[in-house]
Structure formats: C-alpha cells, structure tokens
Amino acid sequence: MSTSSQNAYSPAVPVAPRPGARANVFHGKPASSVTMFPRPVPEVVVPKVALDAISLSYRTTSGESLLALDNINLEVRPGEFLCIVGPSGCGKSTLLHLIAGLCPQTSGKILVDGKPVNGPGTDRILIFQELGLFPWLTVGGNVEFGMKMKNLPKAEREERAQYYLRLVHLLNFRDSYIHQLSGGMRQRVALARALATEPDVLLMDEPFAALDAQTRDLLHDELERIWAETNRTIIFVTHNVREAVRLGDRVALMTFRPGRVKQEFSVNLPRPRQMEQPDVARTAGEILGYLREEINKSLEEEYADEKAR
Amino acid sequence: MKKLAKQFIFYSVLLGLWALLAKLRVWPPYLFPPPWGVGHALWDGFADHSFWIGIAVTMKRMLIGYSLSVVLGMILGLAVSSNKFLEETLGGLLVSLQSLPSICWIPLAVLWFGLSEKAILFVVLMGSLLSVTIAMEDGRKQMPKIYGMAGRNLGASGFRLFWSVLLPASLPFIVNGMKQGWAFAWRSLIQAEMIFLSLGLGQLLMMGRDLSDMSQVMAVMILIIILGYMVDGLIFRTMERRLQEKYGLTPA
C-alpha cells in the first residue's frame, strides 16, 4: 500500500492568512532536541503537536489483536487548523483520544511542544463527540470546571467564564442546566468549557455531526472567528470532507483497517469560507476522489479475500 | 387537584364499603372490626403511649441499621465495581445472597447474638446491605464513561475526579440504591421485630394477635403503611424526582 504523503494540493487561489495569525514558516521537522540555546528565531518552529509513528492495537472481545492505527505521522503547526477526514471506523476519534492522553498508544511518540505526552493535560482539551457536559452543573459551572481543577481563584474563574460565554453568545444562559439547552447551544457550551481552560491545542471530535445544517453553518462561522481571535491550534476530526475543506488550513485523509494517514492536502482558499462555495465543493470533490479510490481498494481487497477462501 | 379529588373519592368509597360490610356483620366483629373500631384502637394506642414508643423504637433501629447498611453498601459497591477480581468473585456471591429472604437471617442472628438489639440490627443490615451494594455497583457500571473521560480531560484526577465527577455522575443511581435499601430494611426490621418481641411496631402487631385484638392488628398495620409510605413515597421519591429534573433524565 502506498503511503506517499505530503502530496500537496493547491488550487489557484492566493493564500489569505487569517487576521492575527502567527507568521510561521514550517520546515516539517522538529528542531534538534539537543539545542542548548534558547530557541532561536521563530522561523524554525517546533510543531505544536507531532505524532511520530503512532500505532495502536487492541484485543477484541473474541481475543484477536486488531490494529486500529498504523504508523501515523503528522505534524501540526502552532495556530494551524488541521482537519482529519476519513470513513467511520478509521480510528480518527481514537487518534484524538491518544493526543488528549486519555489512553496510551501501543507504540510511537506523541510530542506537544517537543515534549512527550503521557496522560491528560490541560494544554490539550478534547471536545468529545458526545460532548460529555456535566448535567449536574449549570452552564457556568461546566465552563468553570477546568479552571476549578486548576485551583484558580473564584473571581478569576467567573471573569473568564463570562468572557468565554460571551464569546460563544451564551452569557444569558449561565445559570441554565444542560438539558434545558438545544443541541447547538450545548455544542457552544462544550466549546466554551474547552476554551476556558485556555489550552494551546483544541481537539474536536466530529462536534457538529449531530446538528442540523443551519446550526452547523452558524457554528462553523463562530468556530472560525473564535479560532482567529484566540489563536489556538485546532485538530478537527470529521467524516465530512466538505466540512474539513471549509474549516481547515490542511486536510489529512485517513484510511481504515488499519487507520493510516493516506494523504495530506493544504487548502489554500481565502477565509472566511462557506460550505456552499463552488471552490470549497471542488476541492472537497477532489479529496473525495482519493477517499473513494481508497475505499474501493479496500473493498476489492475484501472481496479478493472472500474469493480466496 | 383533580388527582387529589379522585383519591379522596376512592378512599371514601373504600371506607364506606368497609363500614357497610362491618355493619352488616358478614363476619364477626372480632375478625372484621369496623373502621371506627380501628380508629379507636389507634387513638388508644397513641393515648397510652404504646404506639409512640413503638414508633420511636422502630425508627431508631431503622436509622442505625439503615445508615450502617448504606455506608457499608457504598464502600462494598465501590470496591466491587472498581476491582475486576472482586467483581467476578464477591459480586456473584452478593447477587446470589440477595435471593435469600432477610427473614432467613433470623435463626443465624439469634444464635450469634441472642435475642438482642444486635441481632435485630444484623437482620436489618443483611436485608438492605446487599441491595444497596448491588445498586451502587450497577450505578457505577451504568454511569456513562464519557463523564470520567471529560473530567480527566479537564484536569481532574484522583480524589477530585471522584468527588467532582464520578460521585455526582452516579448520584441518580446512588439515590435509587438508597431507596431500594430503605424498602428492604423496612421490611426486614418489621419482620425481625415480629419474631424478637422486643418493643417496636412488629411487636405491637404480634401483641394484637396474642390478644385476639383485630382492631389493634389493623391499626398497627396502618401505622406501618403510613410510616413506610412517608419515607419512601415522600422523601425518596421527591429526591429522585428533583434529581431527574436537574439531570434532565425526565422531560421536565
């Protein structure tokens, strides 16, 4: 199977950097780890997140060992918006759980700012697909939770909660309980809760999959705005190629059984983008082509296996 | 209000029917006393303090035995649910032990502790401990895993993870377990009191039988129903409903 990566795709559209984005030139390899000097000029930047030959296998209930992730190599620049797309079951959610430190990988290294990850840390916050908002806390309580765990004083917690709730336009719902909110509002609470701990890296696991199209479009706009305002690094997992192209600076395509990064595409379309934009659709179409090819290939392999039996 | 009116009519009809049957003397009055006879027995019981003492003694035993079983049951439930080995061994034993009616512990309790307060408490404990334990264990298992992950993800660990995430997340299950435990403890205690004859409502019930005083028997039965319902139906159900509303488990 070919894993020729870094096959950059660039449509003939000039790159428009988002306002406030750091001007990073990225050379693809982390700086040598034996540098004795303070990091020199920011021209060579240590990737915010680097996945180095990550593999994960686990035992199924029937006792067989299953390879879920196979030799994943990915690097994410500081302030970059990376989208990971792939068919369901390709292990993209699992990959986020690994980066969040919620479970250990079988082999390989995960580096954040050049330091290996071993366990959860508030520099990386994952927004779960199911959100995992705490129903026994109010919206405000949920947003303050991470800060409480960091032992921040009450006044600061409240102030920051207020800031982030305003950012997601939910300040009026501070004292509501989660079940009183709509799906889109819950999404925004989860976003505020994650942002409030001020992580460097935001990991988002298909956060908008269960929403209706209008709400999702609205949240895309808000996420893009918040990303520009807060300057976070975002790794966003989705099965929707068009959503990936709409949001990402770069799209990594994953395949399944086992999960691998098949190809990476940089999306050089001007922001803000819209899902319905023709160039977004066209770019998505091309990526989808690769994805289909991959799916067909794996299907063919499966059929061949069946015939051989 | 509509519900209350329905209930009022229902109980009035029930009492009327009872009074009518008693008035018609379908059965002799010493076997089927009229409502006012039972009312009289209730009045007398409270007037000579025997009912007050019975209630006080029973509730005191209940409080001690039940608190003990809740604390032990939670510890046991936590232990069983967080340790694979204990779950596969002790967990199975607990489930099988629960099929034993609590009254079956009485002979053992009498031989171990004699006809004493300890023996009664032991029976109450064995009656409700298992259901609290099993409810706790189930609660821990049914609690969505996402809360624990979200908590760790947001920087909670160790005791704080338990206290601020795992405990509140399993609170609806814990309250359910406590409610079940109460029901079992209540039944076990009355049963034990009927056999031990050492004050309490159970003894008053048996005394009624010994004196062939059907009015007292029915009066005590009514007392047991009312007390049991007050705690179970009012305290626990209110707690449960509030929790469910807050957690969004029921359409509020």
Q: Which residue of A has its CA nearest to B152?
A: A120
Q: How far is A175 from chain B (nearest CA, A)?
A: 12
DSSP chain B: -HHHHHHHHHHHHHHHHHHHHHHTTSS-TTTS--HHHHHHHHHHHHHTSHHHHHHHHHHHHHHHHHHHHHHHHHHHHHHHHH-HHHHHHHHHHHHHHTTS-GGGHHHHHHHHH-SSHHHHHHHHHHHHHHHHHHHHHHHHHHS-HHHHHHHHHTT--HHHHIIIIIHHHTHHHHHHHHHHHHHHHHHHHHHHHHHH-SSHHHHHHHHHHHTT-HHHHHHHHHHHHHHHHIIIIIIIHHHHHHHHHHHT-S--
- At B167 the pLDDT is 85
Cα angle A186, A190, A192 (rounded to 5 degrees) comes to 115
Residue with tokens 């509020």: B252
Return the CATH number of B73-195+224-246, one of 3.60.15.10, 1.10.3720.10, 1.10.10.10, 3.40.50.300.
Answer: 1.10.3720.10
Q: What is the pLDDT of residues B153-205, one digit of tens each?
A: 998 888 999 899 988 888 888 888 888 889 999 999 999 998 887 788 888 88
Contact assessment for residue B205 and residue B196, using Cβ atoms and an 8 Å cutoff: no
Beta bridge partner(s), residue A126: A203
Q: What is the pLDDT of residues B90-111, one digit of tens each?
A: 888 888 888 888 889 989 998 9
- At A37 the pLDDT is 47
Contact assessment for residue B126 and residue B188, using Cβ atoms and an 8 Å cutoff: yes
Asked if A136's CB is within 8 angstroms of B247's CB, the reply is yes
Tell me the pLDDT of chain B averaged across its residues. Answer: 88
A213: how many CB neighbours lie within 10 A of its CB? Answer: 9
* A130 in contact with chain B, both atoms CB, cutoff 8 A: yes
- At A130 the pLDDT is 87
pTM: 0.74
* B241 in contact with chain A, both atoms CB, cutoff 8 A: no
Residue ranges of chain A whose pLDDT lies below 70? 1-44, 298, 305-309
- Nearest-angstrom CA–CA distance, A272 and A221: 8
Q: What is the pLDDT of residues A80-112, one digit of tens each?
A: 999 999 877 778 888 999 999 998 888 889 999
Q: Homologous superfamily of A49-123+201-308 in CATH? A: P-loop containing nucleotide triphosphate hydrolases (3.40.50.300)
Asked if A100's CB is within 8 angstroms of B248's CB, the reply is no
Query: Closest Cα to residue B132, out of B228, B230, B65?
Result: B65
- At B12 the pLDDT is 94
User: String of b and e for A8-25 (b: at least 16 CB within 10 Å)?
Assistant: ebeeeeeeeebeebeebe
* B64 in contact with chain A, both atoms CB, cutoff 8 A: no
- At B221 the pLDDT is 93
User: String of b and e for B69-80 (b: at least 16 CB within 10 Å)?
Assistant: bbeebbebbbbb
- At B251 the pLDDT is 45
Domain ranges of chain A: 49-123+201-308, 133-198
Of A132, A177, A193, the CB nearest to B149: A132
Beta bridge partner(s), residue A57: A67
Residue A25 DSSP label:
-
Q: Does the structure show a pLDDT above 80 at B120?
A: yes
Q: Which residue of B has its CA nearest to A141?
A: B164
Contact assessment for residue B45 and residue B216, using Cβ atoms and an 8 Å cutoff: yes
* A272 in contact with chain B, both atoms CB, cutoff 8 A: no
Tokens of A3: 């894993």
Of B152, B155, B252, the CB nearest to A197: B155
Domain ranges of chain B: 73-195+224-246
Contact assessment for residue B181 and residue B66, using Cβ atoms and an 8 Å cutoff: yes
- At B135 the pLDDT is 85
Tokens of B208: 């009624």
Element (H, E) at A226: helix A213-230
Q: Report the share of chain B in percent with pLDDT over 90.
A: 36
Cα angle A195, A99, A245 (rounded to 5 degrees) comes to 70
- At B9 the pLDDT is 94
- At A143 the pLDDT is 94
- Nearest-angstrom CA–CA distance, A107 and B108: 57
